[in-house]
A and B are shown apart, each in its own frame.
Chain A
Amino acid sequence: KAGVTQTPRYLIKTRGQQVTLSCSPISGHRSVSWYQQTPGQGLQFLFEYFSETQRNKGNFPGRFSGRQFSNSRSEMNVSTLELGDSALYLCASSRDREGDIQYFGAGTRLSVL
């Protein structure tokens, strides 16, 4: 059974640009969550999608957005990139219920210059 797949693995962008990251969940998983990891703040929750709807959102500015497709694949978009957006972005999938094991992808390393 394939795991959670995130693409691309690495990205280099400049300030002001926008970026789209992709996450393919484990087959049968309907919940996809996104997290940002930085050395100073640790792992912070961005948002969660279930059945193509954003079900939960963390405390991030509107520049961060996402969506989920009918096959449960998800994308997140960051517009008007800032230097502070440099981070490891992790995606996790689970079946749905509270307390289900979260399975994480390898992440996308975004560097903003």
Chain B
Amino acid sequence: KQEVTQIPAALSVPEGENLVLNCSFTDSAIYNLQWFRQDPGKGLTSLLLIQSSQREQTSGRLNASLDKSSGRSTLYIAASQPGDSATYLCAVPNSGYSTLTFGKGTMLLVSP
């Protein structure tokens, strides 16, 4: 059974800092890995999807990497802003299905 772990559970940084969020998964036979953002009380917004054949994916100030062999992914946020404050979740597809297994997320607070 796939398990997804995210470290740290919470992170507080001053505005302007670069930061890294970590995600690990137990079954490396994944099709892809997806990073989401969730604002308090809201739904999920897809940030980046990395295919298993890719090692990195970038969108603006966000960069996600994937190392299938070690079962790890990182989300790098450059020059953090208060508007980046949210919970960040990573998720991997369940083998053979269209559904996802999620980590419990990292709650990020960026202070002005």
Contacts and interface: CB of A to CB of B under 8 A. Distances in A.
Interface residues of A, number: 28
Interface residues of B, number: 27
* Dominant secondary structure of chain A at its interface with chain B: strand
B99 A56 contact: yes
A85 B53 CA distance: 39
A98 B98 contact: yes
Contacts of B44: 90, 92, 104
A107 interface: yes
A45 B91 CA distance: 12
Interface in B73-112: 89, 91, 93-105
A90 B91 CA distance: 14
B49 interface: yes
B60 interface: no
Interface of B: 31-32, 34, 36, 41-46, 49, 51, 89, 91, 93-105
